[in-house]
């Protein structure tokens, strides 16, 4: 497996970031491995990290009185979590591994500090996080339309 400093610069989320900023992100990152059923985070908990899935599958879930519902899944290459950058820095959903999953965990509090010290880095990361949020929002809105029920 490639090291984090080899892997992150090639990842679409980080592609194009200045090399010195990549080094800062790498300085806040660590490899982690979780087993099926393990939660990466729980709704309401402190959003102090975000994750890049290197291998495996993660479900984004929310709890209802009749059980949890899977809202989205994340797979190899996906970025999980944006609440680390948005006050009040609390997770809005649960995230759980459903198979053995390898991830890069990035310390959000560490990165926030670096973003505040270097607004250019903050803006570059914000652009990427907003893109992720925009993709999720479009997906959620389109699925609200229940499109597949309508074509005969």
Residue 8 DSSP code: G
Closest to another protein by CB, 19 vs 148, is: 148
CB of 130 to another protein, least distance (A): 16
Binding mask 69-108 for another protein (x = CB under 8 A): xxxxx-x-x--------------------xx---------
Query: Is there binding between residue 143 and another protein (CB under 8 A)?
Result: yes
- Please say whether the dihedral angle defined by the alpha carbons of residues 30, 7, 25 and 108, taken in this order, is positive or negative: negative
Q: In a 10 Å sphere around its CB, with 0-12 CB exposed, 13-18 middle and 19+ buried, how is residue 28 labelled?
A: middle
Contact 98, 57 (CB under 8 A): yes
Give helix 19-27 / helix 119-144 axis angle, nearest 10°.
80
- Which of these segments, 18-26, 68-76, 87-95, 114-122, binds another protein (CB under 8 A)? 68-76
Angstrom distance (rounded) from CA 112 to CA 130: 15
CB of 64 to another protein, least distance (A): 12
CB of 82 to another protein, least distance (A): 16
Residue 72 DSSP code: E
Query: Is there binding between residue 59 and another protein (CB under 8 A)?
Result: yes
| Radius of gyration of the CA atoms of the chain, in A | 16
- Which of these segments, 39-47, 87-95, 107-115, 133-141, binds another protein (CB under 8 A)? 133-141
Tell me which residues touch another protein (CB under 8 A).
12, 57, 59, 68-73, 75, 77, 98-99, 135, 138-139, 142-143, 145-152
């Amino acid at each position: 497996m490639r090291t984090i400093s080899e892997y992150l610069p090639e990842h679409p989320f980080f592609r194009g970031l200045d090399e010195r900023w990549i080094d800062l992100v790498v300085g806040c990152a660590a490899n982690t491995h979780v087993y099926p059923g393990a939660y990466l985070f729980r709704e309401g908990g402190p959003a102090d990290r975000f994750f890049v899935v290197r291998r495996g599958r993660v479900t984004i879930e929310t709890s209802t009185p009749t059980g949890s519902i899977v809202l989205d899944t994340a797979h190899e290459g996906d970025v999980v979590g944006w609440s680390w950058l948005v006050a009040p820095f609390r997770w809005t959903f649960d995230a759980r591994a459903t198979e053995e999953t390898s991830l890069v965990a990035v310390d959000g509090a560490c990165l926030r500090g670096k973003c505040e010290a270097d607004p250019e880095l903050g803006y570059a990361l914000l652009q990427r996080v907003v893109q992720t949020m925009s993709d999720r929002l479009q997906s959620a809105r389109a699925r609200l339309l229940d499109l597949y029920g309508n074509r005969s």
